[in-house]
Each structure stands twice: as C-alpha cells, then as structure tokens.
Amino acid sequence: MYRTVLNPLIAGMLAVSPLASAGPRDEAVSTMADQQSVAVTIYNDNLALVKDARQVKLGRDLNRLAWREVSAQMRPETAQLRNASNPGGFRLLEQNFDFDLLTPDKLLDKYVGREVTVIRTNPATGAETRETATVLSTNNGVVLKFADRIETGAPGRIAFPGVPDTLRDKPTLVISLLNPAAGSQNLELSYLTGGLSWRADYVAELNADDSVLDLNGWVTLTNQSGAAYPNAKLQLVAGDLNRVREAQPMPRAMMAMAAKVADAAEMQQESLFEYHLYTLQRPTTLAENQTKQVALMSATRVPVNKEFLLTGADYYYSGQVGEIGQKMKVGVYVDFRNKGEGLGIPLPKGVIRVYKKDSQGNAQFVGEDRIDHTPKNETLRLKLGDAFDVTADKKQTAFQKLAGSGRYNYVFESAYEIVLKNAKSEPVTVTVREPMPGDWAMLAESQAHTKAASGTAEWKVKVPAEGQTKLSYRVRVRY
C-alpha cells in the first residue's frame, strides 16, 4: 500500500524536475531516429538475432555511446558493434547493458544511503517547506533520517538531485570505444535476444467424403522483447538448434497481446546448414507486445487417406487375462503427402487444426494434432480423435504355458477374439494392429495378417454398415 501511495508523489516531483534520464552528458546518444534498417531472424526456441543499423555521429578517439531502445531481453555477451564506414582503427573497449528502468520505486531504491529533499505543503496556507533527509531503507516502506528524528511513510513530496547513470528510461547498451575519424558513422549492432518467438499454425478443411483437404499455413509471431522493430527484414529458422542452456531473464510484467493478420505473404524458403530458412519478401513491423500472423503456404485439393485404427498391447501375450475390453475406442487418423502444388516445401513444426462442413455448410472443428518439422515428400499423419460409431470388444479365449522356468525360455500360446462393430450407415475398414513380443508365430487366424514390422501383426478388417465382423487368431510367443 505504501508504494501505491508514494508513487504519485515521486512521479509528480519528477514531472516538474528538469533532470534528464538518458544518461551522463558526455555520452553520444543513438535513438531509433538514427536507425537506417533492422533485420530480425527468429528461431523456434524463444531466440532471435537482431541486426540494428544506425547512422551515428561520433567524435574522434574515445567515445561513450549510449545505444538506446535495444531489446530488454538482450543477451549482452552476444552483442557485437561494427563500423561499416571506417572499420580500420575502430575498437571496442567496454560495454554495459543498463536494463534497470526508471520508475519511482527504482529511483527511491537507488537513493538508499543518500540525501533527498522532502517537500511539504501547508494545506491552510499553501506554503512549502523543505528539509533534507537521508533514505535509510525502502523495504516494505520508506525510512527517512532527518537532522533530529527518523520518520517512516511518505511525509511529503520527495525531490532527487539527479538520476543515477545506470537508471535509464529505456533499455540501453552503453559502449566505450575508440573511433578513428570524427563525423557520421554507419554502425551495426547485432545481438541475440529472448522475448521473440514464432510458431507455425495450420488450418485444414476436409471435403464431404474425407478424400481431400484444403490446407493453409500461418506463421504466428510474438514480440515480448521490450522493444519494437519497425519495417524489419524478417527471417525465420525452422529446426532444432543445440543451445547451451542458461537462466533466462523473467518478463518484467504480464504483456497484453494485440493480434494482427497480414495479407497473404510471400515466404521464400531455402536451406541453411541443417535447418530451413524462411524469408518474408517485404518488410514488416514487429510492435512491442504484439502477436502477428503472416501467411506461410496454401494448398487445395490435397489427397487424403482416412484410417480407423485399433491398437493392442503386448502384456496379455504372456499371461491369462480373459476380458480385455468392451466398447474399446477406435482411433481416427488422416494422412497426406507433403507434395504437390502449394506443398512440397519443408513444413515447420506446429499444430494442424481440421474442420469439416456440416449439412448446412457451416465449418465445424473435428480435431487437431501436432506435427514435427516435416521435409518435402514426407507423409503427415494426424490423429483427429476416436470414432463414436466404430467400437471393439476384445477378449482372450485361450491361454497355455508350454515351456519355461527361471528368467528365460518361456513359451506361451494364446487365442483372441476381437468383435468390431459399426453403427454407421456405410461400411468401414478397421486396421487392427497388435504388437507381438519375443519370437512369435501365427498358428491360426480367421483372416490373413500382414507383418507390418518384426514385432507387429496387422489386419485390415472390413465391417459392414450397421453390422459387425469377428476377427479371431491364435499365436505362439517365445521369450
């Protein structure tokens, strides 16, 4: 409560004070007004590379340059300043990242142990009196030492003789450097920063018989770095970079988002090392505390394969279990190839949300799934949910231990029955996939299986409309 009451008092004093907050007078100050261009490369993992080019007037030899309006989440150890005009003889001596921003509370904290002026106003006469006091503490309230007493609370307005050099109104990188020639210099500051991120989001719409879909991809950009990047050249890197993990600075406050949808954009793609680089073919502004969407790709009439899948488990092949499950859910999957017009490009990882129109022509959400980075010509497989009208009953009908003792040389023989039910008005085909442990051999079956992998048996079972089909099999496994 103390801080809430005191802030307006300090802020009021700052408003009428002629003190500057940009830094010492001997600094050369560069602001966004000096910016010639800015390029931002954003990676998947809350990391971005910023290249900020500015034209700055410097003196000869030793200069102290305050580069203002950098990212508040800059990693200062990665900052690199170069001189494109006169690189010879240009040398950096020291740099300091001042991210302690000027607020009434911060200003008071900086004056602990120092003198301030306390100004009181007589409510009857309006006359002001001034006293000098030393700030002893600001923990859970201010403690002031006057010449003859110590007071707590906010006895009046507090005036400060100046603003400390390290307390800035905006994040600032302060650089001491040697410059070979006086005059305007073309400088470029590059650095890595947190607070900038991107992700891919996809929207797909299935046709009436689930045979084709239309797919649109968007890049969602979020800027919580504490700085704006006007008319930036934007590039995105898709891939999993190895990074040395360090503690990241926490955001200073919860940031509000402003959504903005861009026009269908021209995202050009190219290989970069073992990753993929996407470049927006026009400048865009990344405002502070903003989420923006940029079109990535668009494809229509993409052929789709729909699959009903019942997946088993391996635990019941080595024990007697009897009933395994009633009305077991059958998963619904769709898959398609990343090829053809509009596709055939590396797709960044993200979430694909799938819609389908109902009988009245309204698009309804039918499921979503996350995809990993997907090269061209690869298959994307999405699980959209579990079927409502297609279910399965499964039980073990026989079990026998044929051999084995100790830890090895076990042989088991067991039989199973799976009843697949279809309440839909059209027939369906259900893939039954069973993981088979150890060395296994199929002894009998009502329908021929395929060996999908060394430890997987698979059946394609046709189930009639509003009917059911029984699959039975006997298997021997050896451990």
Is the pLDDT confidence value at 265 over 50? no
Q: Residues of CATH 2.60.40 domain(s) within the chain?
A: 305-335+383-478
- Asked whether 214 and 299 are in contact (CB, 8 A), the reply is yes
pLDDT band of 140, cuts 50, 70, 90: confident
* Residue 295, CA atoms < 13 Å, CB-side half-sphere: 13
Statement: residue 67 has pLDDT above 90? yes
Please say whether the beta carbons of 106 and 191 come within 8 A. no
What are the DSSP E strand ranges found in 154-289? Answer: 157-159, 172-179, 183-193, 196-206, 212-223, 229-238, 259-261, 267-272, 275-280, 284-286
Compute the mean pLDDT over every residue in the chain, rounded to the nearest whole number. 86
Q: What is the pLDDT of residue 313?
A: 94
pLDDT tier at 247 (50, 70, 90 boundaries)? low
- Residue 228 class from Cβ within 10 Å (0-12 exposed, 13-18 middle, 19+ buried)? middle
* Residue 161: how many other CB atoms lie within 10 Å: 11
Q: Are 237 and 277 in contact (CB under 8 A)?
A: yes
- Higher pLDDT residue, 137 or 267? 137
Q: Are 176 and 94 in contact (CB under 8 A)?
A: yes
Contact (CB, 8 A) for 324 and 394: yes
Q: Does the pLDDT value for residue 16 go beyond 50?
A: no
Mean pLDDT, range 417-440, rounded to an integer: 96
433 vs 262, which has greater pLDDT?
Answer: 433
pLDDT of 281 reads 83
pLDDT tens digits, 386-414: 999 999 999 999 999 998 776 678 999 99
Is the predicted pLDDT of residue 73 greater than 50, yes or no?
yes
Phi, psi of 424 (to 5 degrees): -75, 165
Of all residues in the chain, the percent with pLDDT exceeding 90 is: 65
**pTM of the full predicted structure?**
0.70
Q: 334 and 304 in contact (C-beta within 8 Å)?
A: yes
Q: Among 42-56, 172-186, 273-287, which is the least confidently predicted range?
A: 273-287
Q: What is the mean pLDDT of residues 218-242?
A: 88
pLDDT higher than 60, residue 22: no
Q: What is the pLDDT of residues 78-134, one digit of tens each?
A: 999 999 998 988 999 999 888 777 888 888 888 999 999 999 998 888 899 999 999
Asked whether the predicted pLDDT for residue 252 surpasses 80, the reply is: no
Q: Tally the residues of the chain.
A: 479
CATH architecture, domain defined by 305-335+383-478:
Sandwich (2.60)
Q: How far is CA 89 from CA 80, 92, 158, 197, 217, in A?
A: 16, 10, 47, 37, 48
Residue 448, classed as helix, strand or coil, is: coil
Per-residue pLDDT, 409:
82
Tokens of 432: 């039954």
Lowest mean pLDDT among 33-37, 41-45, 185-189, 196-200: 41-45
The DSSP bridge partners found for residue 293 are 220, 261
